[in-house]
Chain A
Amino acid sequence: MPDAAQLSTATPSISERTGWTLTQIHAWPESFAQAAGSVAAACGASSIPAPGQAAEATDGVLLRVHPQRLWLLQYVKAGALPDLPVDQGVMLDLSQSRCLLRIAMPAAIDLIAGFCGLDLRAPAFPVGAVRLTSLHRIPVTLWREASHVAILAPRSFSQSLREALEEALRHRG
C-alpha cells in the first residue's frame, strides 16, 4: 500500500485508514460499459469489475457496488477523473461520507461472522469480492483484500461500529 496512506492502529487487528478519496460513478444502463471503461482506464484498473467484485487501481481500488455503480477509492490524492457526460452517467464525491476500517485476516472472518449473515468462506468470499451488508445493523460495504477485510461504513456510525467490533474482538480473547 502507498506510504501516503496513514494507518492508526487501535488494536492489533482493527485499524482505521484515513487520507483517501471516494468517488461514485453511476452510469445509465445503456452507457455503463463506456462510462466504466473510461473510468477504469483513467484510474489504472485492469478491467471493469463485475458486480460484487473489485479491481485494483493505481493507488486504489475500483469497487462495483451496484450493477450501475462504481466506487473509486484512491489512497493518494490523484488527478481528477475525466468529466462524465450526463447522458452517460453522473459522479459524486463521497470522500467525507464514510470511514474505512481494515480488519486483519484471519480474525476478520470470525469477527464479521458475529455480525452479519454473509457467506465468508473462502470460495464464496475470495480476495477481490465486494459485499454490501449490515454489520451491527449498520449498512456497510466490505471487500476482501489479501491480508485484510476492508469496510466502508457511514461516517456517523463509525465510532459505534468500531466499538462494537473491538468489543467483539475482546470477547474472542
Chain B
Amino acid sequence: MSTGFRLPQGGLIDRNSQYRFSFDGRALTGHAGDSLASALLANGIQFVARSFKYHRPRGIMGAGLEEANALVTLGDGARSLPNAVASTEELHDGLSAHAQHCWPSLNTDFGAVNQLFSSLLGAGFYYKTFMGPGRGPKSWLFYEHFIRRAAGLGKASREPDPDQYETVNTFCDLLIIGSGPAGLEAARIAAEAGLDVILAERDFELGGALLADTGTIERQPAAQWLASQVDRLSKSVNIRVLKRTTAFGLYDGTVAGLVERRDPAQATTIPWRERFWIVRAKRIIIAAGAMERPLLFAGNDRPGVMLASAVGSYLNRWAVAPGRRVVLATTNDSAYATARDLAIAGLSVTLIDSRDRISEPLHRLANNTGIDLRLGQSVRATLGSRHVRTVDIGPANGQGAVGSRLACDIVAVSGGWSPTQHLLSQRGVKPSWNESLQAFLPGRANEPIDCVGSAAGLWRSDDCARSGRAIAAAAAAALGRKAPVEDIPAPGGWETPIRPVRLASDLNLKKIFVDLQHDVTAADILLANQEGYEAPELLKRYTTLGMAADQGRTSAVPALALLSEMANRSVGEIGTTTFRPPFAPVSIGALAGMERDKHLLPIRRSPLHDVVADSGAHMLETGLWMRPWYYPQNAETVDEAYLREMRQTRDAVGICDVSTLGKIAVQGPDAAEFLDRVYVNGFKAMKAGMARYGVMLREDGIVMDDGTSWRLSETEYFMTTTTGNAAKVMAWLEDLLETRWPELRVSLTSVTDQWAGISVAGPHARNLLAANIGELDFANEAFPFMAVRNGVFNGVPCRLARISFSGELAYEVYIGASHGPALWRALRNTAKELGGCAYGLEALGALRIEKGHVGGPELDGRTTLEDLGLGRMASTKKSFIGDVLRQRPDLRRDDRARLVGLVPVTKGEMFKGGAILAEQGQEDGHGLGWVTSVTESPSLGHWIGLGFIQGGLDKWQGKTVLAADPIRGRSTLVKIVAPHFLDPEGTRLHA
C-alpha cells in the first residue's frame, strides 16, 4: 500500500538535487537533506521490515534513534552494514538498502509462519523448552543449530572490510552531546567564556528538535533562531562541531566514546568511513533531548503506527506526509503542535486525547485548524493487513467498550517523553521517577556531568535554551571562567498534566507490543510477572525486553508502567534498568581503527632481522617478536632443517640470534643487594667479570623467570631474562624498587634494544670467536665457564660471557645493535668454514631439551624450584622474594609433580607436548602428570621429552607410564628418566 507523499513545498531538503537510491532493488529517488526513511516515505514506502521473533510486518515508526522497526542492511558485499536505522541514515546518491530478517523477500517471508505459533513462543520459551529435567544438553545441542540460524538481526559480511577507519584522541574543556536548543546555548555560553568546546551531534544537521519546530523560541521563529545560532557557532574559534557523530559511551574520568560518520557527499575526498573519537573532557553536558514513547494497544506495531513527533519531523523537516488521514492519539500536550501542522498541511486529523480536560489554548488550536478533537478517548486497536486501515477507539478509562472505528492510514501516537539519559546511566547514576511528568529524571552525578534541556525533563524550548545557558555558565565557573549566571528552570512545561498509561481490560495482550524490536508483548510481561520476574533486571533477562540494538529506548517506561499496574507498585518503586555502552550500535571497524591486518599489533624486529632473513631463515612470530625459526637448505622441511642444525652445532659450531632475550642494566651502589633480594641465589659474592644463572620467584613462591646476570663492575650488572617474560620482569623489578625498597640506590633500564646478541655453541665455538674477536684469550683458563669478558670486533667494543643453554662449549656475545649484522655475517662465514651453521628457534629449543634446561613450557606459572629440580639453588643465608610462601606445606609435598625426562619405550615411537602421563589403563581423568617439551634427538637417535609427574624421579625413575594424547589419538609408552639426556657431567660445556 502506498501512503506517503512529498509535499510541494517546505522542508529542509534541496529540491534541486536528485539522489538515486534503491530499496530491495527497487529504484527510487530522493533529495539532499533526506534521511533514508524520509525518502522511503516520500516514495510511499512504509512497510520496510519484519519483526524479530514473529516476522510481523513493520513500518517506519520514528525519525531518529528511537526507531525500533526500520532496521535495514546498507550496501552490498564486503561493505554491507546490517541493522542500519533507516530514520538516521543520511540519503546519498547510489545508496542501496535491503530489508533484512526475511526470506525470500520482505513481502513473502517464510518466517512469518512463526505468527501461527506465537502462543507457544512466549516469555521464557527457551528456558522452558530446552532446559530442565529430561531436556539436557543433548536436546539443546540438537536444537541449538536451528535456533542460532533463526536468531540475530541482520547478517554481517564475511568478507574483509575494505574501508578505512580512524581513531582520534582529543581533549577539551567541555563536551556537549546534542545540539538542540539546550546544547546550542550551552556551546555558545561556554565558548564565550573561553572554554575549549566540542559539540557532538548525531544528526547530519544541527538543531535537534528545532529542525522540525514550526513554533517559536525566545520570541523568534524556531528556524530563524536556529539559523542565527548555527551562524554564531561557525564563527567561534573555540568550538569544534562534530556532526554525524554519536556519543555512544561515557567512561571513567569523563572519557567519552564517539563515532563520526563520513559525510556521504565527501566519500571521494575523505578516506575514512568512520572515525572513533576518544574525548577526554574536563566536563560533559548531555543535551541529548528526549524520546517520545509509543502507546499500548492491540496492533500497535502495524505499519502506519508512528510516533507523533516523527510524523511532525517528516512533515516539517522533510516535507513528507506519511499518510492522508491521520488519527493522532496522545496523553499529553506535545502532540498538539504536530496535529496543528498536519491540519495546516491539509491532512485529515482526528486527535484522540486520553485526558478529559485540556487547556483553553489547546482547545482553540484544535478549533482553529479544523481538528476533530475527542477527549477522554484512547485507541484500543488497529486493523489492517500490511498497513493500518482503521482504529478502534473507546473510553480512555478502559471501562467502556469500543465506541467507534475510524478509517485512517496513519496512527500517530504520543505516550509521553523519556529524557535521553542513557549516557548518564552508564556512569551508574540512578534516575528518579517523576510521577507528575511520568518520566525518569536524571539523578545527580558525582562526576562533572550534567543533563540539560529535555534530557533533564524540560519540555518547552525556551526552558531548554535557558537550562543550557545556566549549566554552561556553571561549568565555566567550575573551570575558572566567568559567564552570566541564570536560574535553572524546573522540569516540566505542559499546561495540562500527562495522563498515565492504563490498559483497557478487554485488550488482547498478545497483540500489544511493548518492545517492538524484540517482539516482547504485554502478555509476555504479564507472564513474567506471574512467574515471579518482577524486578526490571529480571524482567529484562527473562523476556529480552530492551536487549536489542535500540536498548529499549521506547519500551522501557511502557514496560515498567505495565509492570507497575500488574504488581500494584509505583514505577518509582520498581525502578529501571542500568544502561550500558554502547548507546547506539558501533561498527567493529570503527573500534578497530587502524589496528588490523599487519597493524593489528606492532612487530618487533631483532637488529639481526634482515641479515638472518638474508641467510634464508624462515621467520616465526613469537609474541611481538619475529624470530628465525629454521634455516632450510635444499628445500628442507622444518624437521629436517632443525635436526641438521642440531647435528652441525653439536659436531662443529652453530650461531643463533638471541637478541630478543630481555636485557636489563642494573646499576648503582646497591645493585648487588637488589639482585640478592630478587634472585633465589646470591649475587653479592660474585666477582666482577663473572656471570651467574639466577632464578626469581613470584611472591607466592612460584618460579617467575630465569636468566643470567653478568657482573660488569662492582656497581653494574647486565641481567638477561627470557624473551617472553622480559617486560613482565622489568615491570616487576621497577615495582619492587619503587614501592618496597625505595631506599636502594639502584637504576634499572631495559637495554634489550641496545644490544644485538648472538649465541655461539659447539666444539668449535672457541675457534670461531677467536677468529673474529681480536685480542681476547679464549683459553679455558683465561676465559672459564661463566666468565664475562670485553672484546672488540672490527674496532667496536662487545661483551661476551661463556654460558651455555645447549650444553655445548658456548658463548653469548653482545654488540651495539647497529653493529650486529656485521658481526653476524662474520661469524656465519667462519662457522661455514668450520662446518657449522646458523640455527633457529626450533633447534635452540631442541638443544636445551637434550641438555635438560627448563624453558617456557616448564616455567608455566605453576612450578616451584623443587618441581624444577632447582631447590638447591635457593640460598639459606639471605631472604629473597617468594622465600616465605614457597615454604607452604602444599608446595613442599613430596607428591607434587616434578620435572623428569621421558623416552619412548619403543625407540622409534614419538610423543607430543601436552600429553597426559598416566599409568596404563588409568588414562582417564587428570593422570599423574603431563608432557611439556619434546624433540627428536639426533644425538640419541630417538624422541625425548621433559614433563612433570607426581613424585618425580624419586618415585618413577626407570618405570614406564603412558603418554596419553586422546585429542590427537596417540598414546605412547614412555620410560621415566633423568631430565639430562646429554652430557650430564658437563664435559662438553667445560671443554
Contacts and interface: CB of A to CB of B under 8 A. Distances in A.
Nearest to B272: A171
B271 A155 contact: no
A86 B278 CA distance: 45
Nearest to B671: A90
Interface stretch (B635-643, B744-752, B955-963): B744-752
B280 A119 contact: yes
A117 B278 contact: yes
Interface in B654-712: 665, 667-669
Contact of A137 (B602, B607, B665, B749): B602
Interface string A10-27: 000000000000001010
Interface stretch (B161-169, B366-374, B900-908): B161-169
B602 A161 contact: yes
A113 B715 CA distance: 41
Contacts of A160: 602-605
Q: Is the interface of B mostly helix, strand, loop or mixed?
A: mixed
A146 interface: no
Contact of A171 (B166, B715, B755): B166
A127 interface: no
A114 B170 contact: no
B716 interface: yes
B955 to A, nearest CB: 45
A156 interface: yes
Contacts of B594: 114, 136, 164, 167-168, 171
A124 B668 CA distance: 35
A118 B169 contact: yes
Contacts of A92: 665, 667, 747, 749, 751
B753 A113 contact: no
Contacts of B668: 28, 86, 90
B754 A113 contact: no
Contact of A155 (B164, B167, B753): B753
B167 A115 contact: yes
A121 B278 CA distance: 15
B164 to A, nearest CB: 5
B599 A167 contact: yes
B753 to A, nearest CB: 4
A104 interface: no
Q: Is the interface of A mostly helix, strand, loop or mixed?
A: mixed
B271 A172 contact: yes
A163 B166 contact: no
Given A92-B751, A160-B602, A171 B271 contact: yes
B687 to A, nearest CB: 18
Point out which of A69, A86, A87, A120 has the most chain B C-beta atoms below 10 A from its C-beta. A86
A164 B715 CA distance: 40
Interface in B193-217: 196
B821 interface: no
A94 B751 contact: yes
Interface in B583-600: 593-595, 598-599
B816 interface: yes
A136 B602 contact: yes
A114 B169 CA distance: 6
A90 B716 contact: yes
A93 B604 CA distance: 21
Nearest to A138: B602
B601 interface: yes
A88 B299 CA distance: 83
Given A137-B602, A155-B607, 12 more contacts: A28-B668, A90-B747, A94-B754, A114-B167, A119-B280, A138-B602, A154-B604, A156-B753, A157-B602, A171-B272, A172-B166, A173-B269
30 contacts: A69-B747, A87-B745, A90-B667, A90-B668, A92-B667, A92-B749, A93-B754, A94-B754, A96-B816, A96-B818, A97-B754, A110-B168, A114-B169, A115-B167, A136-B599, A137-B601, A138-B602, A155-B607, A155-B753, A155-B754, A156-B752, A159-B605, A160-B602, A160-B603, A160-B605, A167-B599, A168-B166, A171-B271, A171-B272, A171-B594
